[in-house]
Structure 1
Amino acid sequence: MSETKLLSRRDIKTFDFLSDRYLNLIKELTLSRFKLSEQSTFLGFLWTLLYPILSVLIFYMLFSSNIGSHVEHFGIYLFIGVISWNLFSNTTSRGLGSLMMTREILKNSSIPYEVVVVSEVLVRFISFIFEIFALFALLLLTGVGVQEMILLLPFIILLEFMLAVSISFILSCLNLFFSDIGYIWSLTLNIMFFTTPVFYDPIYLIPESVSWLYHLNPMANIMYAFRDVTLYGRLPNMEMLGYTFLFCTISFFASL
């Protein structure tokens, strides 16, 4: 059987993976993959929390006296940027190889390939939950506090999930035919990292005349909204959020 057969829609409807049967399978696969991953062990769990903290410390030492001098609560600003970026980077990288790892099983079953990709992405989202709790603790310990706008955070996380899943769908399928996709995506992530406000505030670096180009990056808008509802306790820019919602929704359904 060829990879084309693997992706065939002849016997599987586009939204079959959202049926109760396959939703239960997604749940079981996600929990199974999580238990097999290093994140389920104590040391793995500890590293899940330590890795973003170490990244924040490095960025803080490098940029707090220059780029970060204009940013209030720069440490928390960095932490939010690091965990939201790592979530996107890790989920898409994991999702990219998911079909290649399970292609023999999928060729001989009627399981929609989306089930495998979604479950692989969800594994990383489980550990992200613990990072969110760490963020809440940080907000409380530093006196910033948790405000009512935090209720919008699940919607923002959902946007990032839709974006990560849609990209993972596309990359995982391309990876079956082109072995260099992993390298290309790794390079793309490196470029995106510097065009997404992980460790800097674009207001002080990006000329206003070209800022609209910057906001075409949906991850930049997601990160803005993430910080608005958690760090600043304010309503996100609805125009940017609306564009991001539209982009993520179209990308999600177009990738199915």
Structure 2
Amino acid sequence: MSMIQEETKASVISVVKPPPSWVEWCERNAKPIERRLIKERRYLTRWQIPGPMKKAQWREFYEWAASRAMPKELPVPVKQPIPCVDKFLPCARKPRAIDPDEFQEKVAKLATPLERKMTPKHQYIYPVQPYSPIIVWGQPPLHDKGRPFKPPQKPCCFFNADIEDKWWAELRFPIRKAALKARITPRILSLSKPKITPQFPPHCYHPEHIYDVLNVKPPRRKKFTPQGWRLHQIRLLYLSKPVSRPEYEYFYM
């Protein structure tokens, strides 16, 4: 059995396999491309001459170039008068007259911002606090909870002034219980008194104003002390010297 299997294997190996499909494609595309260029016939223009030029033709060409190929002498341009000195035009035109009313309307229209860009201004509502003086120095005032009191309900009208005066005389305001038990401090007592201007007694001494200065004798002069005399001499020496300008002397002298 083993011999038969070996013979079958040898017979299978001896068979030649065909080359793969890509070998034919490589052999076909690996060769260089042969490009055939067809030479086109040349057609001369009316200014071209076939073949090299002869001496007579070159002589004729140079004669033509000497008269025709040289730069053309243009006539001198005539200077036109400038309408104005300014560099921009039209400057000779008169300025357009603008109506002042129309100009102000346009300015106001341009100065007004667009509605889509206008935002409402924030207005801070400050709390309404009643008058509460500083009772203790260095501490902020303490606002009472019950203030400001609600105003009394006043009738809409009175028949005469006597009835109105009687109503105000009989009106009584409610008194807080804390106010009945409070003790008056010197600070509250000073605040309850009306303010006197100018302050009395004065805060500091104010000398009397002298209206007739020439008739009043000046105060008696005092002699220099030794130190004051030395300082006075030093001051005079300093004031007698010329003003020094080092920057001026450095740049201009």
**TM band (smaller chain):** under 0.3
Q: Which has the higher contact order (CA 8 A, sep 6+)?
A: 1
Q: TM-score, normalised by structure 2?
A: 0.15
